[in-house]
Structure 1
Amino acid sequence: MIAGDELAFARLFGKYKGLIYHFVMKYVHSPLLAEDLTQEIFIKLWENKSNLSGVTSFKSYLFTTAKNHTLNCMKAAFRSEAALGLVVNSFNAARNSTEDELIHQEYLAFLRRVLESLPPRTREIFYMCREQEKTYDEVAQELGISRNAVKNHMVASMKALSFSLKKELGISLTVFFAIVSR
């Protein structure tokens, strides 16, 4: 294949496409997207075949390429709101209930940890607005503060949560709330 033998490439594709497809599915949970990414991975492999001369384990190289390409595509997709909806919906449809509950609990524990790091008043306002679903006006009236103060506390809590999500989990606030809001 390194020398440009298309038949050798076709044999490698036939041998590994199923493995790569299932590997990619673990990340994207969308059959159509997994199929597209699998094809892109093999195209990338063909285009960079000259890099294979120093590779000692083709299978390891292939799976590393697949993982990197998939993660890079997912990062790009998460930047697009339309693609985000497709990925989250496919992800939610593909999960089993046990896995779903474990992931949900892990994200809720993460949320609790981040909220515990906030000042008590900011944390209280976040809970009132998000968990009790009160409006800013209702929270302001109940706490005897201005609506603007409630808004400022919510902005601070969302900034802290967004920063922690990107830093620790590598996901956006939109993705996080799509996953924990069932």
Structure 2
Amino acid sequence: MPDVDADSDAQLMQRVAAGDRKAFALLFDRYHASVARFALRFVGDTARAEELTQDIFVKLFRNAKAYKPTAQFKTFLFRVATNHCLNEVRRGEYRVTHTSTAPTEEDAQGVDVAGPEGEQPDAAVAGRELERAVGEALKGMSERERAAFTMCRFEGMAYRDIAEALEASEAAVKSLIHRATLAVARKIEELQAGTAPARSRA
């Protein structure tokens, strides 16, 4: 069955390319929250993330004619978002601190994180503890790892779509996500160890 939302996005984007501002407003309303969350994980500041989000949608509007209807709109959008956020971070003015950018509890519940041996985290590691682990792990990731992990775990994008957004191979994307996932798993283990009762030494 065709993806109705994806088809609708493509049609709206074609209308945007023809100068239809109402179609652009519909796309903005549909994807604003996702892009804002994505930007927030790069700059660590809500106000600046909103500015970046506005910039990203301006770029989207200006580059609408470059969109090919055979491509997933969301992939095209996140290519624009990724390039803009990476450029912003590389300028050095905004380095991610993640003091306030840990995923929400709703986000965290959607993260499927496997440990180094493929095991799932203990069921007790959930909610805010997982939020903290992911936020701390994001802080230590490279920008491309952070982008790939965010698109995969929080936006549910397929490897091939992430590869298009990052202009990389699927193999490279799998490697980025694997390293990022291991980083989260290690951070969960560290937090568990830090909160576990002290053991008596022999």
Q: Under TM normalisation by the shorter chain, which class is it?
A: 0.3 to 0.5
Question: Greater relative contact order: 1 or 2 (C-alpha under 8 angstroms, separation 6 or more)?
Answer: 2
TM-score (norm 1): 0.46
Q: If you compute each CA radius of gyration, which structure gives the higher value, 1 or 2?
A: 1
- Normalised by the length of structure 2, the TM-score is 0.42
* Higher relative helix content: 1
